């Protein structure tokens, strides 16, 4: 089996892959993630995932499969990672009681064959009504940092969510079922 390279420094993506008996290595991409947030969210995440995968695959000599992902929250516009606590409060207040999409772009590249697949996964998330006190208590955990939409469903942020429709692992940051399907279909590789 080819070596799998995860082009991400996200501990959440690493934890998802570690659940399976997969021989993988993490190499962080240093792509500048600047995009216009007025752009189509699907194009944004697929473009960023592709840039990350290309960055890593261009530096490898080995026979490997590079997996990259990028996740955003979308509700009328792309909601990125909060700059600080004030920004996190604004984002969580905006999401309170409403539905939003979590969209993850995925790129997989086989470095020996030059084969590239770009795709995405979408999950609908409904937040419960959040009182200011609840938002402040959540922010005080620090969990909002470095998270699209200012929350982490796999941690304390689970209490903010009423329901989801679609892939749970997508909301965490790596839609593992979609990744496995793409690996099986296009790269003759399986996660499990």
Catalytic residues: 70
Give the residue among 118, 88, 114 at the shortest CA–CA distance from 178: 118
> How far is 79 from 32, CA to CA, in rounded Å?
18
| Residue partners of 29: CB distance under 8 A and separation at least 6 | 7, 8, 51, 52, 53, 55, 56, 68
Do residues 44 and 166 make contact, with C-beta atoms less than 8 angstroms apart? no
DSSP single-letter state for residue 68: E
């Amino acid at each position: 089996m080819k070596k799998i390279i995860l082009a991400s420094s996200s501990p959440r993506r690493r934890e998802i892959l570690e659940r399976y008996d997969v021989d993988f290595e993490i190499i962080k991409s240093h792509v500048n993630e600047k995009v216009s947030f007025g752009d189509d969210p699907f194009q944004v995440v697929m473009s960023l995932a592709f840039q990350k995968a290309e960055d890593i695959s261009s530096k490898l000599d080995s026979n490997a499969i590079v997996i990259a992902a990028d996740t955003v929250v979308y509700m009328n516009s792309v909601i990125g990672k909060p700059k600080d606590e004030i920004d996190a409060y604004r984002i969580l207040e905006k999401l309170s009681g409403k539905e939003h999409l979590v969209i993850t772009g995925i790129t997989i590249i086989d470095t020996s064959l030059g084969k590239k697949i770009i795709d995405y996964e979408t999950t609908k998330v409904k937040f419960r009504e959040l009182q200011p006190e609840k938002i402040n208590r959540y922010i005080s955990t620090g969990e909002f940092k470095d998270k699209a939409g200012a929350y982490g469903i796999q941690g304390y942020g689970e209490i903010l969510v009423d329901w989801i429709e679609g892939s749970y692992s997508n909301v965490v940051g790596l839609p593992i079922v979609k990744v496995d399907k793409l690996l099986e279909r296009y790269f003759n590789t399986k996660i499990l």
